[in-house]
Structure 1
Amino acid sequence: MRSRLLLLFAVVVTALAGCSAPEPARPGVLTAGLAEPGTLLPADVEDQAGRLVTGALWTPLADYDAATGTLTPRAAESITSEDRMTWTVRLRTGGRFHDGTPVTAKSYVDTWQLIAGRQWAATSVLTKSLRAKEITAPDENTIRIVLDRPSGQVPAWLAAPGLVPLPRSVLASHDWTGFARHPVGNGPFRLDGDWQPGTGGTLRRVAAGRPDEVDLRVGDPVEQYDAVKDGELDLATSVPGERHDAMHADFADRHTTWDLPQAGYLVFPAGATRFADASVRHAFALGADRSALADGPLAHQADPAKALLPPAEAPGARTGTCRPCTFDAAAAKSLLGQAGFTGDVPVYAEPGAGEWTRTLAAGLSGALGVGVTARPQPSGGPADGPSTVELKPGSPSPADVLGELAAAAGYTDPGFTGDLAAAEAAGTPQEAGQLYRVAENQALRDLPAIPLWTGHGHAVWGPRVHDVRTTPFAGLDLARLGS
């Protein structure tokens, strides 16, 4: 009998040893799930996961709220100009990189000079938007920027998360692969060791505060969502489409959604004469079922567009509705018939947009009563039909989106161009915002590009997490999370 009891005890102990109990929570330490970042080189980041990590490792010069035109200095003490031609940035004193070297005005000047000569995500902010004639560092804490025309958008451009400084070591070595594996920033967290692809890494706070450590874990978003629900993970930084409907019931007040600097459009090339009639383009706009895109191939990671400017770039709310953003199949078919438009239409998809382009094309075909098929972008020569375009602007300035759409379509309407110039030269953010809306309205009348969808981010968290704050470019602010 005694030997049987000993055997039973041994079996129970063995079974218990094989069970994995949830890891006990450590005070001041949070666990967060995310997708694999595309890169951790801040000037080339375009994805949400990459911005989450680099937003914790770097402090930008400032934050800029496109809706209100409000500038909040961060690494900068001030960003000022008397004539909107020459701008002065004063840095806060004492800034240091995580390797202990000082952050100076020359750090920014040298970094920007290098970015301008590359083909990185942030390059266009310097070369196409800012277009400075001269950028110098008169002293250790002063950056002087001289433009080629007056512009009030400089604060918005300098708030671009890709324009953060790089340390002298990587500016000299150009070892971008090694630096992306172990980035060295000037932000509230440093990376403890190398980033491990497929696994993640640990962020440790540089100065006192909570959380003092964030354990970032790369994994499947469905599994991460369920792990937060089961108490095995504190935070999931994305919500997959298949969990979207359950999110409100599963997490009540422990979830959030925020606008992303990301939007999808259907762009008509200026040289395609079949679409020269604006009523044809309006018919395509009314025939686009945006909800079918958001609920289908975009998997609840986007909203149907309600304006040409996405919310993350918009200078406040629109005062009127966007008629070309409305799905009205009957009106679309009637308008196309009145224009005498016939024949099949190719819709060209840029790389990565094939799935939602096919859904768009099928919906347009049914609504308009003409054959619309999705095709890959032609390898050479001008396109003979519209193309789907996904924009990921590098700064919160409305000028970036409107300018990029006009360039993609070859749209050169004098009224639109004049409105853009007037908005950029405006004396106040409020005046600029009104003029950007005027330019947007002109483009919505002419429709060189049809707005389709705007991206948004999701997050869910457990009961240990509080004070969750988000911004369009950095996403979740890990430095301000309470635990």
Structure 2
Amino acid sequence: MRSRPLVSLTLAAVVLAGCSSPEPPRPGVLSVGLGEPGTLLPADATDPSSRLVTAALWTPLADYDPATGKVTPRAAASIDSPDRVVWTVKLRPGAKFHDGTAVTAQSYADTWQAIAGNHWASTPLLTKSLRAKEITAVDANQLRIVLDRPSNQVPAWLSAPGLVPLPASVLKSKDWNGFARRPVGNGPFRLDGDWRPGSGGTLVRVAPDSGRANEIDLRVGDPAKQYDEVKDGTLDVATSVPGERHEAMHADFADRHAMWALPQAGYLVFPATATRFATPAVRHAFALGTDRDALESGPLAHQADPAKSLLPPAAAPGERSGPCRPCTFDAPAAKSLLGQAGFAGEATVSYDSFDGTWPQALAAGLSKSLGISVTAQRKESGGQPIGPSTLELKALSASPADVLRSLAEAAGYTDPGFTDDLDSAESTASPEEAAQLFRVAENEALRDLPAVPVWIGHGHAVWSARVHDAVATPFSGIDLAKLRD
């Protein structure tokens, strides 16, 4: 009889434990899963996680829609030029960094000088793309940019997320590593405390908005685990989806998932020094012998799409109605072309900036479709590639001029018609005419094929039922400033 109270107490404890529930989410606070950012220095941010965070901490001069060419001023009030050589950027007055100091035209001029002097990801954008002879602060709210030739691409370049301003304190100290731990931007969110590697950080909205999330809990972790946490309701947003969850994503989240084009593409480039590939028929054979679908579902693990053109969607303008002929897989035609060209012997695919898995698979696939020996070889630092090479092109400005010029430079491609059309596309005042000329230049390059488009990167995200207004852009992925619960 004495044991009955003990049994009753034990059962009560079990029942109480079973009724416990997680703490309900706080209104206006969302949790977002991401990978470890490579850096929080915006001028050097290239991976999706870095761009996700820096896009929340900084406001660019403008937003650029590569599909339409439309420019929407953000930190800038206007970006204008009477002749496409001399450009005037007027800033919105009263802007401040998160430390309370003013954002001025000099902030941009000094930051761009620092970028040009360092080997950061955005350095080529200033030194090769913009090609400015002069960048000066006319007054506190006005920048003057003088180019060495006419270009209508300036608004697109200035919208690049890497060309945002840095505070005078870090420009003076040059403590880039310290700044990356606790960045100070001019954007909608500030970082509350230091960034915690392997863990994450907390973003707090600078000007509270009752209609949007005012606090973002950023959690670094494994993509597969984060995907499951969103399903379970313990995480609000996962900003990447691993390959093994790709097919399930559509059923698991219905209309609560997104895919978007990244400003990143993989190409097989034929260097001018690779004389065995000088015949267009040989280059087209390698293009037709590339099984992009097999790469997408295999080593690329659904993190990319098969390329349909030289210009990726994030570089536009517009999209092709269907894949270009060199973008299709046709093994019999590829083998026939190679035979007609009298190509025999071995070929080497050289790579350096990629994980070797997909280049090795690409080489194996080419060997099978072309009937020759094709091997993949990592290029040593500073070494000259032998045969075809792979190139990772980061079109951070989403400018078609950058993509086409970069590929032509990598391949040593100097066709006069291509160059003239590209120059005309950059210098015309009409966005519609520019779009047409960029496509003409692209088609000329596809005819001669100095580079074979292989894949176009894309991003994924999934979110819980309590999340609304989850939209993505090519530069930053999910726009954290627009999220609401």
Check whether TM > 0.5: yes
2:346 pairs with 1:344: yes
State how 1:63-78 maps to structure 2 within 5 Å: 63-78=63-78
Q: Does the aligned pair in 2 maintain the 1:353–1:388 contact within 8 Å? A: no
Instruction: Report how far residue 94 of structure 1 moved.
Output: 1.1
Q: Does the aligned pair in 1 maintain the 2:57–2:190 contact within 8 Å? A: yes
CA distance in 2, matches of 1:425, 1:438: 15
Q: Supply the AA of the counterpart residue of 2:105.
A: A
Match of 2:144 in 1: 144
String of CA shifts for 1:330-377, please: whole Å, max 9, x gaps: 100011011111001111122333111011001000000000111111
Instruction: Report how far residue 17 of structure 1 moved.
Output: 6.2
Q: Supply the AA of the counterpart residue of 2:230.
A: V
State how 1:253-332 maps to structure 2 within 5 Å: 253-318=255-320, 321-332=323-334
Q: Supply the AA of the counterpart residue of 1:329.
A: A
String of CA shifts for 1:162-199, please: whole Å, max 9, x gaps: 00000111011111111101010000000001110000
Q: Does the aligned pair in 2 maintain the 1:302–1:456 contact within 8 Å? A: yes
Q: Does the aligned pair in 1 maintain the 2:349–2:386 contact within 8 Å? A: no
Q: Does the aligned pair in 2 maintain the 1:23–1:232 contact within 8 Å? A: no
Number of aligned pairs? Answer: 483
Instruction: Report how far residue 5 of structure 1 moved.
Output: 3.1
Instruction: Report how far residue 258 of structure 1 moved.
Output: 0.6
Q: Supply the AA of the counterpart residue of 1:237.
A: T
Match of 1:131 in 2: 131
* Change over 3 Å in CA distance of 1:175–1:21 after alignment to 2: farther
Instruction: Report how far residue 327 of structure 1 moved.
Output: 0.2
Residue aligned with 2:357, SS: helix
CA distance in 2, matches of 1:21, 1:391: 48
Match of 2:51 in 1: 51
CA distance in 1, matches of 2:19, 2:269: 56
CA distance in 2, matches of 1:389, 1:4: 76
String of CA shifts for 1:276-323, please: whole Å, max 9, x gaps: 111000000000000111111111010000000100001012266400
Which one of the candidate residues 399, 402, 405 is aligned to 2:404?
A: 402
Match of 2:120 in 1: 120
String of CA shifts for 1:59-91, please: whole Å, max 9, x gaps: 000000111010000000000011111100110
* Change over 3 Å in CA distance of 1:211–1:333 after alignment to 2: same
Residue aligned with 1:246, SS: helix
Instruction: Report how far residue 426 of structure 1 moved.
Output: 1.1
CA distance in 1, matches of 2:11, 2:145: 74
Instruction: Report how far residue 457 of structure 1 moved.
Output: 0.6
CA distance in 2, matches of 1:255, 1:62: 27
Q: Does the aligned pair in 1 maintain the 2:352–2:380 contact within 8 Å? A: no
Instruction: Report how far residue 389 of structure 1 moved.
Output: 1.2
* Change over 3 Å in CA distance of 1:341–1:233 after alignment to 2: same
CA distance in 2, matches of 1:278, 1:309: 20
* Change over 3 Å in CA distance of 1:325–1:9 after alignment to 2: same
Q: Supply the AA of the counterpart residue of 1:449.
A: A
2:452 pairs with 1:465: no
String of CA shifts for 1:363-413, please: whole Å, max 9, x gaps: 000000000111111455533310111111220111111111111111111
Return the TM-score normalized by structure 2.
0.97
Residue aligned with 1:245, SS: helix
Q: Supply the AA of the counterpart residue of 1:467.
A: D
Instruction: Report how far residue 9 of structure 1 moved.
Output: 2.7
Instruction: Report how far residue 15 of structure 1 moved.
Output: 9.5
CA distance in 1, matches of 2:22, 2:244: 25
Match of 1:154 in 2: 154
Share of identical aligned residues, percent?
71
More deviation, 349-358/228-237:
349-358
CA distance in 2, matches of 1:428, 1:12: 77
Q: Supply the AA of the counterpart residue of 1:40.
A: L
